[in-house]
Amino acid sequence: MLNAITISSIFVLDQDEALDFYVGKLGFEVHTDQDLGFMRWLTVAVPGQPGRELLLERPGAPAHDEGTAEQVRELVTKGAGGGWIGLTTDDVQATYEDLRAKGVEFTEPPTERPYGTDCGLRDPFGNAIRINQPK
b/e map 72-97, b = 16+ CB within 10 Å: bbeebeeeebebebeeebeebeebbe
Q: Is the pLDDT of residue 45 over 90?
A: yes
Q: What is the pLDDT of residue 2?
A: 86
Please, what are the domains in the chain? 7-134 (3.10.180.10)
Determine the residue type at 95: T
Sign of CA dihedral 51, 60, 14, 78: negative
d(CA 119, CA 121): 7
d(CA 12, CA 66): 16
For the whole model, what pTM was predicted?
Answer: 0.92
Q: Is the pLDDT of residue 57 over 90?
A: yes
Q: Is the pLDDT of residue 16 over 90?
A: yes
Q: What is the pLDDT of residue 4?
A: 84
Q: What is the pLDDT of residue 121?
A: 96
Q: What are 76-130's pLDDT values in tens digits?
A: 888 787 788 999 999 999 999 999 999 999 999 999 999 999 999 999 999 999 9
d(CA 11, CA 76): 7
> How wide is the angle at C-alpha 30 spanned by C-alphas 25 and 36, nearest 5°?
130
Q: What is the pLDDT of residue 54?
A: 96
Q: Is the pLDDT of residue 9 over 90?
A: yes
